[in-house]
Structure 1
Amino acid sequence: MSKTELIKKAYEIAKEQYAALGVDTDAVLKKMSELAISLHCWQTDDVGGFETPDATLSGGGIQATGNYPGKAKSIADVRADLEKVLALLPGKQRLNLHAIYGDFQGELVDRDQIQVKHFQSWIDWCKSQGIGMDFNASCFSHPKAADGFTLASKNEENRKFWVEHVARCRAIAAEMGKQLGTPCVHNTWIPDGSKDVPVDRNGYRKILMKSLDEAMAVDYPKEYMKDAVESKVFGIGAEAMTVGSHEFYMGYAMKNNKMICLDNGHFHPTEVVGDKISSCLLYVDEVLLHVTRPIRWDSDHVVTLNEEIQLIASEIVRNDFMSRVKVGLDFFDASINRIGAYVVGTRAAQKAFLIAMLEPTKSLIELEEAGQNFERLAMLEELKTMPFAAVWDYYCLQENVPVGIDYIAEIQQYEKDVLSKR
């Protein structure tokens, strides 16, 4: 029996087992088409970007560790790597681009001067790939962020510089969405904060509110662009106070009808983002997720299929929030093959959503509402050993991408043919 036949046979057996629980696996696989994961371009080159030759990180609470060979050194490299990643993933993806990755053609363009023309080739590339785009202002790794403040800066010249940068990024994002026919989510994250205990927390937050109001003064059609604002509990050099706390941005999003971005690495280790989603969506229309794997702090490890990721996916699926939650990845591991990091991380997130969709949610809620908590617990435990892998393998087969561990050999060959020659 061929491998394809074995996969199909295993799926038919799994299909019957899930049907006994009231789950239609064929319908679940169709529902997976609703999940579009936004791939973060910065995994290709460790958040360097292409503003200047050999650009590297400099401050702002961002740190990529490792020096594994094969780092992308040009926009062509980034696109080649992303094309390889897309070829190894089932389902739908998008591109998540930071402003420092503009196609500047060797010209030095400061961030308060960027225009759509610097990103047109990216729009064209996404169109050729049949995918949408998301975008981010890059408020870090810049001389005007050297003191740790951008939109919350008390230096008026610097503050206006960053306001203009964010305003331009929003205009560019709107054009991306317009040309590609799918809304571009523009996310605003800043590293602003204090290394030691500040006195004027309120003053900085008032400035940040003012700056956001100015940067977001222009309203763009939501079919072109949607704003998101992203909080963080702390960062390197901002351990004592982060201006853009969760409370600050949650309030700003609610007041101004913006998306709140929840990065599951941006909270205290005992906080669980999966538990925040239903609360946030009572007060805002949509939520943006940055999915990562923190180890002790916001260290942005490659996503794996763990309990935290599973809860995030389950909360979205159980409450029918698929249309209200945008999913993006946010990790940058320079210690392993960067293409492998993408594929492992994205597949892990996709698996979490598939497992959630294979859950007999209605039956579980009925047990819960009847006070049958033993039965609910027993059912949740038994679901952990259901043949999810057979459904996943069949999904990959349907999508014409490598099944199981087959993608490892393809990435190894790409490393031999492409990455090792950089």
Structure 2
Amino acid sequence: MSRFEEAKEKYASIGVDVDKALDTLSKVRISMHCWQGDDVLGFDSDSLTGGIATTGNYPGKATNPDELMADISKAYSLIPGKHKLNLHASYRITDEKVDRDKIEPKHFSAWVDFAKQEGIGLDFNPTLFSHEKASENMTLSHPDKNIRDFWVEHCKASRKIADYFGKELGITALNNIWIPDGTKDVPGDRLTPRARLKESLDEIFTVKYDKQNIADAIEGKVFGIGVESYTVGSHEFYMNYAAKNNLMCLLDTGHYHPTEVVSDKISSMLLFNDQLALHVSRPVRWDSDHVIKLDDELKELAKELVACNALNHVFIGLDFFDASINRIAAWVIGMRNMQKALLLGLLTPNTQLSKMQDERNFTELLATMEELKTLPFGDIWDHFCEMMNVPVGKDWFKIVKEYEKDVLLKR
């Protein structure tokens, strides 16, 4: 009997259907973020502003669309299943001199061609940072109406592009708005900037699109670099705006107080929303966007998604950028860890655990949850990789190192 078969029997003994778990996991599309590949620079700016920062100078980062696409394709070849790619508006591909308020679907047609070639979907984000009109950490809430209008038009154009992605690829595109707006020190007026932000959002969402093509989300944050004391787009602001306007309030795992955990928020959000959007990163004391590890919170996050039967209702995207390590390895580690966490959730006898809790069998609940930690999950994961025709174990790393030697170090 193979190790997989033995592991499968052990999970069956606690009521878990391994084949069903693997089939479910194979259908989950995770949105891999393009900006890990070039340290968030994009193709229309030379520097980062708006509280965005990367550290490190590992060799071989992508410097043009062809290099970035090649690196993304290499990463996908090492990740089980078919997924999505999350684009920022700053990654448009065009020879035209066009500012962000004038971007059109045609400026992203090369990405659609790439997505069709890879068999993936596309998500989108307007880019409200690294631009002269975002230099003061104020965009949609800026006191200058001309600047606000510029960013409103940018966000409206971005929604049109996301709709184009959905139509072309037949996979719903998440369009997510995040802004860097806020103040470094305690503000003299918290209300007025938020009123301006609300007015800007109202204008952005006046156009209605087919929800089969585009899903709209807005993303809050506790604080950021340069806006340590006041963030206009706070979690409370966006949660209320989203609820009132039938939008998704995207939860970024790095955008909360260090003692908060997003896993605890999922069930509450799903009770009042048909869909949920996530950006998964790993904060180290702050929103530092480290590559995600298979740590306790990631496992708990994934377990909640499975236990809440939310995998068909959630947009899972990754959001980290580390310039101190091989960027392709960062993608592969993060994507595979997200899948491992989901598999652990799918291999959890959630119905039985819920029953123990309802019957107040807390001793058995604790004992069972602890025993789950030593079940042979790794053998199930290795089998999944074999099923998906990707490297098992750490074999993928050898391929990345060869690519680094043959391609990255020659840039």
* Residue among 43, 46, 62 paired with 2:52: 62
* Residue among 20, 25, 30 paired with 1:27: 20
Task: Report what 1:195 is aligned to.
Answer: 184
State how far apart, in whole Å, the 1-side matches of 2:346 and 2:325 are.
31
Task: Report what 1:38 is aligned to.
Answer: 31
Task: Using the aligned pairs only, state the percent identity.
Answer: 53
- AA of the residue aligned to 1:365: S
* Residue among 66, 81, 91 paired with 1:91: 81
- AA of the residue aligned to 2:40: V
Q: Assess if the C-alpha contact under 8 Å between 2:294 and 2:337 holds in 1.
A: yes
Task: Report what 1:10 is aligned to.
Answer: 3
**Structure 2 residue 252 is matched with structure 1 residue 259:** no
- AA of the residue aligned to 1:390: D
Task: Report what 2:41 is aligned to.
Answer: 48
State how far apart, in whole Å, the 2-side matches of 1:131 and 1:20 are.
36
**Structure 2 residue 119 is matched with structure 1 residue 126:** no
State how far apart, in whole Å, the 1-side matches of 2:202 and 2:294 are.
38
Task: Report what 2:93 is aligned to.
Answer: 103
Q: Assess if the C-alpha contact under 8 Å between 2:32 and 2:86 holds in 1.
A: yes
1:319-330 → structure 2 map (5 Å cutoff): 319-330=308-319
Task: Report what 2:104 is aligned to.
Answer: 115
Shift of 1:92: 2.6
1:262-411 → structure 2 map (5 Å cutoff): 262-411=251-400
Task: Report what 2:134 is aligned to.
Answer: 145
SS for the counterpart of 1:260 is strand
* Residue among 393, 401, 406 paired with 1:412: 401
RMSD (CA atoms): 0.9
State how far apart, in whole Å, the 2-side matches of 1:128 and 1:372 are.
52
> Mean Cα displacement is larger for which, 28-37 or 253-262?
28-37
SS for the counterpart of 2:391 is coil
Shift of 1:27: 1.1
State how far apart, in whole Å, the 2-side matches of 1:375 and 1:37 are.
34
Task: Report what 1:3 is aligned to.
Answer: none
State how far apart, in whole Å, the 1-side matches of 2:172 and 2:341 are.
25
SS for the counterpart of 1:112 is helix
Q: Assess if the C-alpha contact under 8 Å between 1:51 and 1:104 holds in 2.
A: no
Shift of 1:365: 1.1
SS for the counterpart of 2:309 is coil
Could you tell me which runs of 5 or more consecutive residues in structure 2 were left unpaired when the two chains were aligned: none
**Any idea what the Cα deviations from partners look like across 1:236-270, whole Å, max 9, x if unmatched?**
00000000000000001100001111000000000
**Any idea what the Cα deviations from partners look like across 1:284-313, whole Å, max 9, x if unmatched?**
221110000000000000000011111110
- AA of the residue aligned to 1:43: Q
State how far apart, in whole Å, the 1-side matches of 2:141 and 2:114 are.
35
State how far apart, in whole Å, the 2-side matches of 1:31 and 1:321 are.
12
Q: Assess if the C-alpha contact under 8 Å between 2:254 and 2:288 holds in 1.
A: yes
**Structure 2 residue 162 is matched with structure 1 residue 169:** no
TM-score (norm 1): 0.96
State how far apart, in whole Å, the 1-side matches of 2:237 and 2:376 are.
43
Q: Assess if the C-alpha contact under 8 Å between 1:273 and 1:312 holds in 2.
A: yes
State how far apart, in whole Å, the 2-side matches of 1:120 and 1:138 are.
18
State how far apart, in whole Å, the 2-side matches of 1:346 and 1:418 are.
22
**Any idea what the Cα deviations from partners look like across 1:140-188, whole Å, max 9, x if unmatched?**
0111011110001111110000000000000111011111111110000
> Mean Cα displacement is larger for which, 124-133 or 289-298?
124-133
Shift of 1:33: 2.3
State how far apart, in whole Å, the 2-side matches of 1:366 and 1:223 are.
36
Shift of 1:56: 2.6
Shift of 1:34: 3.1
Shift of 1:127: 1.0
Q: Assess if the C-alpha contact under 8 Å between 2:82 and 2:119 holds in 1.
A: no
Q: Assess if the C-alpha contact under 8 Å between 1:25 and 1:358 holds in 2.
A: yes
Task: Report what 2:61 is aligned to.
Answer: 71
Query: How many residues in Structure 1 have an aligned counterpart in Structure 2?
Result: 411
Structure 1 stretches of 4+ moved >6 Å: none
Could you tell me which runs of 5 or more consecutive residues in structure 1 were left unpaired when the two chains were aligned: 1-7
Shift of 1:109: 1.4
**Any idea what the Cα deviations from partners look like across 1:36-65, whole Å, max 9, x if unmatched?**
10000000000000015xx231x2011111
Shift of 1:196: 0.4
> Mean Cα displacement is larger for which, 28-37 or 263-272?
28-37
TM-score (norm 2): 0.99
- AA of the residue aligned to 2:79: L
Q: Assess if the C-alpha contact under 8 Å between 1:174 and 1:184 holds in 2.
A: yes
- AA of the residue aligned to 2:47: T
Shift of 1:281: 1.5
SS for the counterpart of 2:283 is coil
- AA of the residue aligned to 2:71: D
Shift of 1:363: 1.1
State how far apart, in whole Å, the 2-side matches of 1:274 and 1:35 are.
18
